[in-house]
Amino acid sequence: MKRIQIFENGINVVFEITDEKLIKLLHFSALPFNESTITSKEGNTGFDLVEMKISGIDSAGEWHGNKCRINALGNRLKYKNFKDINNSIGRKLEIVCFDEETGLETVSHMQFYTGTRAVRVWTDVNNCSTENRTLEYVSSFSLAGIEKEGLQPQNEKLRVGICHNSMQRELQWRFYSPEQQNSSNVLGVTNVGNLSSKEYIPMGYAENTEVGGALMWQIEHNGSWHWEISDHEGHLYLQLSGPSEIGSHWSKILRPGDSFRSVYCGVCAVNGGFNEAIAEMTKYRRLIRRKSRDNTNLPVIFNGCLNCLWTDPTNEKELSLIDAAAEVGCEYFCIDAGLYADDIRCDRMGGWNENRKILPDELREVTDHIRKKRMIPGVRLEIEAMGIKCPMADDLPDEWFFVRNGKRVIDKSRYQLDFRVPAVREYCDAAVDRLINEYGFGYIKMDYNIESGIGTENNADSFGDGLLEHERAYLAWLDGVFERHPKVIVENCSDGGRRMDYALLSRCSIQSIPNQEDFRKYAAIAANAPSAVCPEQAAVRSFLSETDDREEVVFNMVNAMLSRVHLSGHLDRLDSEIQAIVKEGIEVYRSIRRDIAKAVPFYPLGVSEFSDTWSALGLRCDGRIYLAVWQRDGSENCSIPIDNGLNDVKVRCIYPSYNEEKYAYDPNNKTLTVRFGRPNIARLFMMEERS
C-alpha cells in the first residue's frame, strides 16, 4: 500500500494505491486527513477514483438502482502512472489507470488554479484495445466520505444545497439533509437537453456543519449533466458527470484508438460555509473564462425588449429610446427584432437579413444614430434555430437539423440547427460577420428559446451523443466568433437564465439572468445572481416605467447595481425627476464598477427567497464592502450582521443621494441596523475604514 498526499492552495488531497494496484481517492477537503474517519464496512471500498459503465461488462455487488455507482470497470481499474506537474495555471495532477480485460485506459485530471481553493476535474478514456467499446457513463469527479469528519450522524451534520431555477423564479437555493432527499436511493440532480439550467443551476453545495468544512461544485457543460449524493458502504459520496445512458440517452462507441473526454467540472473546498465557498468559486470562475475587456469595464447596456417594445420596433420608437438612453448614461444600445424574414413571427426566423417592414427607414439609420449618441449598437439573434416557415428551410437537407425517428425536431415552430455540420457553421459565421462588418454591431444578445430534447440521431452513436457533440461544436463555433471579433460582446441568453453554465460563460462575458417583470420579486433573483455567475457577468435588468414613483425606481436600480446594469422600459416617457434618479444610479454604478469586477459576494442574511421580507447582498473588495438591502413587506427594522474585518468603520448610503431612511452601524456587534419607513424600499451602502 502506498499513499500520495497533496496539499495545494489550502486543499488536502489523499490518494491510496492498494497492494492490488487499485487507486482510491480517500480525501479531498480543506480539512486535514484523519485516517480514523474512514469507517467503511470494507476498508476503503467505494473510494474509487473513476466510475465508468461499459456495455457488456457486469456490475456486480450491492443493489444500486439508478445510482451511477459500483460499476465493474470503476472498481477494478489498476493504477498505472502518476504525474505531478506545474503549468501556467498552477499545479496539475494526472492519474493514469488501465483495465487489462477491456484495454481501456483512463486519465483523471485535477488542475489547481493559483489563488483559489478550487480545481477543475475531468476524465479522459482511451481505447487501447483492438475491439469497439461502448461507454454508458463516465464520471468527471467521484469522492466518497464527504460526511466523514465529526461525530454526529450523517443526516444531522450534512447540509446539501440545490439551486432551483425556473422561468421567473430563477436562482432559488434550498438546503436539505440527505434524509430529506431520500439519499438511501439517490439524491440526484439531472438536466436533459440543450437548456442546461432549465430546472437547476448546474452546481451544488455540501457542508459538514459539525466541523465547518464545505464543498461547492459546478458542472461546466451546456447540455445534459448529472450530479448525485448517496450512500455506499457506510459513507456518503458525491459524483459529477455529463450525460449518461440511463439519465439522458447517451452512449458513445470508442473504436480502437479513439478517445473520449468527460465534461469539465469545478470543485472548491473551504473551511467555513456558503459565503466562503461562493467567494472561492467566484475567483475560480474568473480564472477559467476568456479574457474580455467587458468584464473589466462593465459598460451599461440598454435593451428595449422586455417591458418596452416587445419585439415591435419602428425607427421612430427606437430613435426616441436611443436619445433617452444616451441621456442617462448608457454605453450600449441593443435593438429588438428587425432581422426576420418578412414579419416578427418566430416560425419565419433564420434568414437574419434586414427587414424593411419592421424598420422601414433602414436598420442603418438606427445603428448610425446609436453611434452618433456615443453608444455601441447591439442586436438580438437566435442563431441556433430556424423557423419552420423560413423561406430557405425546405430547401436545406435534413442533416442541417436535429432529427429523431426520421423527422426533424420541432419546438415552438422552430428547427434546431446542428453545429456539427460545417455548412451550418459557415452559414452562421456569414450572418454574424455581416451584421458586425456591415452594420457595426458591437454587441450580440445570443438568445435561445426552444427545447431540442435528448438529441439527434444523425451521424451519432446515440441521441445523447449527437447532442453532446453538437454542443461542443457550438462552443468551438463561439470560439471562432471571438477569434475573428475579439471586441464584440456576446450575451448568453435563453428565455432569461435557462442556459446559465460555465461552458458558455467561460466564453460569453455576460449572462442574461431572469425574465421576471415584477421588480419586487426580482430582488430575490438579483440578490442570488452572484452565487451562480460572477457579479460582473450577471445581466440584471432594471425595468423602468413612467408610472413608477421614485422609490420604485430606486428599488429597480438597486436590483442591478451590484451586477451588470441592463436598463429597459420607456426611458423616453420618464419625467425629469425620475430620469435624474436613474442617471444618478448609473453615475454611482460607473464609480464602483471596477470594484465589482474584482469583488467576491457574500450573504449576511443568507441567500434570498421570494417569501423573505428582507434581502441583502454584499460584495467585498480591497477593504470596502458594498451592500444592497431590500425590504418588501413586514417589519420596519432589520439588523444585518457584517463580519467586515475592518477597523473604525464608516458607513454611508451611496444611492440614492436623497436618502431619508435611518441606519446605524454597531462596531461591537458588527451589525448594520436599517429602518425603512414603508414597504418596497431598497438602498445601496458602502462600508470602509475611515481615512
User: Are 464 and 436 part of one and the same domain?
Assistant: yes
d(CA 513, CA 497): 5
Looking at residue 43, its pLDDT comes to 60
Whether 369 maps to a domain, the answer reads: yes
Whether the pLDDT of residue 52 is over 70: the answer is yes
Query: Of 161, 155, 239, which Cα lies nearest the Cα of 201?
Result: 161
- Residue 548 within any structural domain of the chain: no
Secondary structure letter of residue 32 according to DSSP? P
Percent of the chain clearing pLDDT 90 (strictly above)? 80
Q: Residue 411's pLDDT is what?
A: 96
Q: pLDDT, tens digit, for every residue of 314-341?
A: 778 889 999 999 999 999 999 876 565 5
CA distances from 237 to 49, 151, 649 (A): 11, 17, 43
Helix spans in 183-314 (H): 245-248, 274-288, 294-297
pTM confidence score: 0.96
Q: Is residue 566 part of a domain?
A: no
**Same-domain check for residues 61 and 122:** yes
Q: Residue 325 belongs to what H/E stretch? A: helix 315-328
pLDDT of residue 69: 78
Q: Domain with 98 in it: what CATH number? A: 2.70.98.60
**Same-domain pairing of 261 and 378:** no
Q: Is 284 within a domain? A: yes
Residue 299: cis peptide before it, omega within 30 degrees of 0: no
What is the per-residue pLDDT across 642-670, written as a single tens digit (0 to 9) for each?
Answer: 987 777 889 999 999 999 999 999 999 99
Average pLDDT score over residue span 500-515:
95
Indicate the SS3 state at residue 274: helix
- What confidence tier does 184 reach under pLDDT thresholds 50, 70, 90? low
Enter the DSSP assignment of 497: B
**20 and 101 share one domain:** yes
Number of structural domains found in the chain: 3
Residue 60 has pLDDT above 70, yes or no: no
Q: Which domain holds residue 646?
A: 602-689
Q: Which residue has the cell 422561468?
A: 167
Q: Which amino acid is at 243?
A: P
In this structure, the number of other CB atoms found within 10 A of the CB of residue 507 comes to 18
Q: How many residues does the chain have?
A: 691
In this structure, the answer to whether residues 242 and 306 fall within a common structural domain is no
Does 299 share its domain with 277? no
Check whether 516 has a pLDDT greater than 60. Answer: yes
Q: Is residue 498 scored above 60 in pLDDT?
A: yes
| 437-448 residues labelled b (16+ CB within 10 A) or e (exposed) | eebebbbbbbbb
Confidence (pLDDT) at 310: 64
Distance CA 297, CA 281 (A): 21
pLDDT value for 353: 82
* pLDDT value of residue 643: 82
Set of cell numbers at residue 260:
473520449
Of residues 367 and 186, more confidence is placed in 367
The DSSP bridge partners found for residue 253 are 134
Q: Are 401 and 424 in contact (CB under 8 A)?
A: no
Q: Does 226 have pLDDT greater than 70?
A: yes
Bridge partners (DSSP) listed for residue 225: 191
Query: Residue 564: inside a domain, yes or no?
Result: no
Q: For the chain, what percent of residues have pLDDT higher than 70?
A: 95
pLDDT level of residue 105 (50, 70, 90 thresholds): very high
pLDDT of 556-572, one tens digit each? Answer: 999 999 999 999 988 99
The predicted pLDDT at position 37 comes to 86
**Cα dihedral 113, 115, 117, 118 sign:** negative
Q: Residue 378 in contact with residue 443, Cβ under 8 Å?
A: yes
Cell readout for 647 is 477597523
Residue 412, classed as helix, strand or coil, is: coil
Identify each DSSP E strand in 551-632 by its residue range.
564-569, 600-602, 614-621, 624-631
Distance CA(335)–CA(315), nearest Å, equals: 10
Amino acid at 632: R
Flag the least confident range among 354-368, 403-417, 515-529, 618-632. Answer: 354-368
What number is the average pLDDT over the span 416-425?
99
Domain boundary among the residues 238, 271, 288 is at: 288
| Same structural domain, 173 and 238 | yes
Residue 28 has pLDDT above 60, yes or no: yes
CATH number for the domain including 501?
A: 3.20.20.70
Task: Give the C-alpha separation, 308 to 296, whole Å.
Answer: 29
Per-residue pLDDT tens over the stretch 625-648 = 999 999 998 778 999 999 877 778
- Average per-residue pLDDT for the chain: 93
**Domain's final residue, options 288, 315, 341:** 288
Q: Is residue 237 part of a domain?
A: yes
Q: Do both 311 and 457 map to the same domain? A: yes
Residue 521 lies in a domain: no
Same domain, 298 and 275: no
Backbone φ, ψ for residue 251 (5° rounding)? -150, 155
- CATH number assigned to the domain comprising residue 674: 2.60.40.1170
Q: Give me the pLDDT at residue 351, please.
A: 87
Hey, which residues does 96 pair with through a beta bridge? 81, 107
Residues 258 and 325 in one domain: no
491 and 446 share one domain: yes
pLDDT at 97 over 70: yes
In the predicted model, is pLDDT for residue 227 greater than 90? yes
Q: Which of 228, 253, 288 is the last residue of a domain?
A: 288
Residue 42 pLDDT more than 90?
no
- Kindly calculate the radius of gyration of the chain based on its CA atoms and give it in whole angstroms: 26
| CA trace torsion 667, 672, 677, 678 (10° rounding) | 180
Q: Is 184 exposed, middle or buried (0-12, 13-18, 19+ CB in 10 A)?
A: exposed
- Write phi, then psi, for 49 (nearest 5 degrees): -70, -35
Residues 234 and 372 reside in one and the same domain? no
517: cell is 417583470
pLDDT band at 181 (very low <50, low <70, confident <90, very high): low
**Distance between start and end Cα atoms, the chain:** 59
Cα–Cα dist 540/524, whole Å: 12
> Would you say residue 414 lies in a domain?
yes
